[in-house]
Amino acid sequence: MNSCNFIGRIGRDAESKTVGKYQVANWPIAVDIGYGDNKSTLWIDCALWGDRADKLAGMLRKGDNVGVSGSISLRDYQAKDGSTKTTVVLRVNDVKLLAPKPQQDEPRAAKSRAQPQQAPADAAFEDDDIPF
């Protein structure tokens, strides 16, 4: 079974194009691997095919944190220097926008906890008022 899940940041805005009679949206994501001094970044090229490609391409922006799942493959290509390089390609089945990139000019909202609302002390409830 070939099934992979990744969470990472989008490296550039998604681009949508038509290939033959199909729509495809492409974007890279940066996935952190390792930790401490051994931390590095794995770049994964994502490709979403079908009707959702054009619709989602407008929502996937550079810096956004996303979760993607799908099947993975390797693609060889010729680099400008003539060498053969290999890239990881994910054929995306599902995309989840986890958090947009924070804007520099927007102040961060203060974290506040919602206080539960309490019924007034003199409120009386009948059995018919309770939904269960």
Question: Containing domain of residue 60, as a range?
Answer: 4-101
* Residues shown for the chain: 132
> Is 89 domain-assigned?
yes
For residue 78, tell me if it sits in a domain. yes
Residue 19 in domain: yes
Q: Are the beta carbons of 102 and 108 closer than 8 angstroms?
A: yes
d(CA 8, CA 46): 11
Q: Give the pLDDT score at 112.
A: 41
Domain annotation covers residue 80: yes
Question: Taking a C-beta distance cutoff of 8 angstroms, is the pair 90, 72 a contact?
Answer: yes
CA atoms of 122 and 109, how far apart (whole Å): 36
Q: What is the CATH number of the domain that holds 37?
A: 2.40.50.140
Confidence of residue 76 (pLDDT cuts 50, 70, 90): very high
Number of folded domains in the chain?
1
Residue 112 maps to a domain: no
Which of 13-22, 106-115, 123-132 tops mean pLDDT? 13-22
| Residue at 108 is within a domain | no
**CA–CA separation, 15 vs 103, rounded Å?**
22
Instruction: Give the strand pairing for 40-49 and 22-33.
Output: antiparallel
pTM of the model: 0.69
Rounded Cα–Cα distance for residues 78 and 59 (Å): 31
In a domain, 92, yes or no: yes
What is the tens place of the pLDDT at every residue in 17-65?
Answer: 999 999 999 999 999 999 889 999 999 999 999 888 888 888 899 999 9
Asked if the structure places residue 28 within a domain, the reply is yes
Euclidean distance between CA atoms 94 and 83, whole angstroms = 33
